[in-house]
């Protein structure tokens, strides 16, 4: 299941790499560091809430302090992570597995590697989980 949830971040990282030479991606490039900070906070919050005794208020303080976010979005994120342990961690594991698989496919296939086909196959495999 975590592969499904993490596929979006893998696609996002591809967009970021492609947009470096594109003016259409300039807003995304500016937001990318913030997105990475947000992800790091989610990993800490998810683990902290379920394994380290982190309170909801402390989790919200982290979003406010490090991501400058006091909106209802941050509140919903904390509620989401309170409801089920391991979500942020599974997202990250899924992203790393997909990235590693992509590198392995590029290495094995060389010139025959097709990025569109790779992502088609990943999406195809995801439908069975």
Note the pTM of the prediction, 2 decimals: 0.65
User: In sequence order, which residues have a C-beta less than 8 Å from that of residue 3 and are 6 or more positions away?
Assistant: 94, 97, 98, 122, 125, 126, 129
Tell me how far apart the alpha carbons of residues 72 and 75 are, in angstroms, rounded to a whole number: 5
Distance CA 62, CA 40 (A): 11
Q: Tell me how far apart the alpha carbons of residues 17 and 20 are, in angstroms, rounded to a whole number.
A: 6
| Residue-level pLDDT, tens digit, the chain, 129 residues | 444 444 455 445 554 454 444 455 555 555 667 778 888 999 999 999 999 999 999 999 999 999 888 889 899 999 999 998 998 888 888 888 889 999 999 999 999 999 999 988 888 877 665
């Amino acid at each position: 299941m975590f592969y499904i949830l993490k596929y979006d971040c893998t696609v996002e990282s591809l967009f970021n790499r492609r947009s470096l030479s594109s003016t259409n991606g300039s807003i995304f490039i500016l937001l990318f560091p913030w997105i990475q900070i947000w992800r790091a906070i989610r990993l800490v919050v998810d683990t902290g809430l379920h394994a380290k005794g982190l309170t909801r208020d402390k989790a919200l303080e982290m979003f406010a302090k490090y991501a400058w976010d006091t909106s209802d979005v941050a509140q919903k994120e904390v509620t989401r992570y309170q409801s089920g342990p391991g979500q942020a961690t599974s997202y990250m594991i899924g992203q790393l597995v997909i990235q590693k698989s992509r590198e392995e496919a590029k290495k094995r296939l060389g010139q025959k590697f097709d990025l569109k086909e790779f992502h088609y196959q990943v999406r195809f495999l995801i439908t069975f989980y």
